[in-house]
Amino acid sequence: MRALVEVSADGLALLDVEGRFVMVNEAATQLLGLPAAELIGRPAPFVPTAEWNGPSARHTDTWSAPDGRRCVLEYRISPTDAGGYAVWFSDVTGARRQQERLAAITRAASSVADSYSLRATLDAVAHEIVLTTNIAAVQILAVDDPADELRVLGMAGFGNAPDFIQRLSACRRRGATVLFMEAIRTRRPVVVRHRKPVIMADSRWGPLHEIMDRPDWDDFVSLPMIVRGRTVGVINTYYVPGEDPCSSSLAFLEAMADHAAVAIDTASLLSQTRSRAQEQERRRLARELHDSAVQQLFSMRMQAKALRAELDRAGADPAAVCNAAEEIAQLSESALADLRRLVFELRPLDLGARSLVDAVRAHAASVGTRTGMAVRVRVSPDLDPDPGLDLQEDVYCIVREALHNVVKHARATSVDIRLARAHEGGLVVEISDDGCGLDVAPGAAAAPRDTLGLVSMRERAERWGGRLAAGPRQAGGWTVTLTLPLAS
């Protein structure tokens, strides 16, 4: 039995009734980092209690070795007949750390999928990295050009440091060696042991001494963030003293760097998509102005000239003058209605002061008043949408475009707008009219109205992972259905 105890790869120990070491095997001395002579009589890190849950119950505790190592010990403890305790334990630091890293990667991926704010997303990624036990602080920096100023997109472990970039710029001007620029240049990780003492002893890093001294760290690792073959920034990590930036730790950081790079790239693509949508919206409004108000104003100008010529003519016909004046009045009324509609569309939507439902109701009431159509808005009692303002604006614009198409092309007398909760927890918006269903010229082949703003509406829906369907109803008329997976 003594030979089995000595050759065991796991730590075995006997404790007295007060929880002090009485006997340890060779594996225990290696795990705890102290020789047997120094362990005997020392309080053990295990919790001796009479209310133990049986010899198979597993517990964990942290042990700080004399060399600065901190490890997680998993142990089983059982009372002995002599009144003390027998303990079996092993070092599960690596396994626990790997579990934490996998959980952090999963949460970071979820954050990238859920959040539409880049800073909030990357702050979450930085905090997930810091939650691992061997990393004290993290910075996520974005850079478009090494010669340009950097941007902080995420930070954790440094406390409040809003002027970090300004202080870093001051250090660079003093000639401080900024090692993470090497990671950007080579697109490879940079690992520097015992970096903090070097920085704190270098006067060129003076502007950052106060911030860099806040976390307790020693080693430094910088990983480039690369997406679609382009370096978009770096993740700088600061390891707690005594922790080794080993290969498994670097693999974890590379996975987190991939998530951060995807978040930055997604935000860039979203910004480009919104810019294109805004440009398309400006062009649509320009076409609307040209096709409605501009043409009507041109006709008014021509009618006014004809009226003036008639009045200048000797023996002017009163009936012709009255007809020309009446036509000018009708054209001006039509132009004024079109201009009011366009002004309403251009007016900024204050969704911060009212809900999406209230904004839809207000627009529906305006369309009904202006056109005489019956525009009804129905909202499901269980609807509780809480999207961001950008998403609300796109939903509102889709509803507005669908109503505009009904007014302009459908020759409808009523419209129903329904907002409901989808089965999977998302949002469904349906706009149905009782109009002609298709907008075709007499004698022409029937074709779906796919050019009447539907392309723009589909792009707005797809921007948020949603889908948009449009087509005729069996009972007549047309339906546009927007489905958004808000919960995903």
Domain ranges of the chain: 2-91, 96-270, 349-488
For residues 480 and 476, what is the distance between their CA atoms, to the nearest angstrom?
A: 13
Nearest in space to 212 (alpha carbons), one of 249, 176, 248, 161 = 161
Q: Are 376 and 414 in contact (CB under 8 A)?
A: yes
Domain 96-270 belongs to what topology?
Answer: Beta-Lactamase (3.30.450)
Domain 349-488 belongs to what topology?
Answer: Heat Shock Protein 90 (3.30.565)
On the question of pLDDT at 113 being above 90, the answer is: no
Sorted by sequence, the CB contacts under 8 Å of residue 147 that are 6+ apart come out as: none
Q: Mapping DSSP to helix (H, G, I), strand (E, B) and coil, where does residue 91 land? A: strand
Which token pair is 183? 């990671």
| CA distances for 44 relative to 82, 185, 325, 464, angstroms | 18, 49, 103, 55
Asked, colleague to colleague, whether 2-91 and 349-488 share their fold, the answer is no
Mean per-residue pLDDT, 233-243: 90
Q: What is the pLDDT of residue 161?
A: 87
Express each pLDDT in 216-227 by its tens digit. Answer: 999 999 999 988
On the question of pLDDT at 237 being above 90, the answer is: yes
Q: What are phi and psi of 380, to 5 degrees?
A: -65, 140
**Scanning the structure block, which residue is given the tokens 């990671």?**
183
For the segment(s) 2-91, the CATH number from 3.30.450.20, 3.30.450.70, 2.60.40.740, 2.60.40.10 is 3.30.450.20
Give pTM, 2 decimals.
0.46
The band of 40, judged by pLDDT with boundaries at 50, 70 and 90, is very high
For residues 152 and 143, what is the distance between their CA atoms, to the nearest angstrom?
A: 9
Burial of 122 (0-12, 13-18, 19+ CB in 10 A): buried
For residues 50 and 38, what is the distance between their CA atoms, to the nearest angstrom?
A: 27
| DSSP-assigned letters across all residues of 298-365 | HHHHHHHHHHHHHHHSTT--HHHHHHHHHHHHHHHHHHHHHHHHHHHHHS---TTTS-HHHHHHHHHH
Express each pLDDT in 399-438 by its tens digit. Answer: 988 998 898 888 899 999 999 988 777 889 999 999 886 5
Q: Are 115 and 151 in contact (CB under 8 A)?
A: no
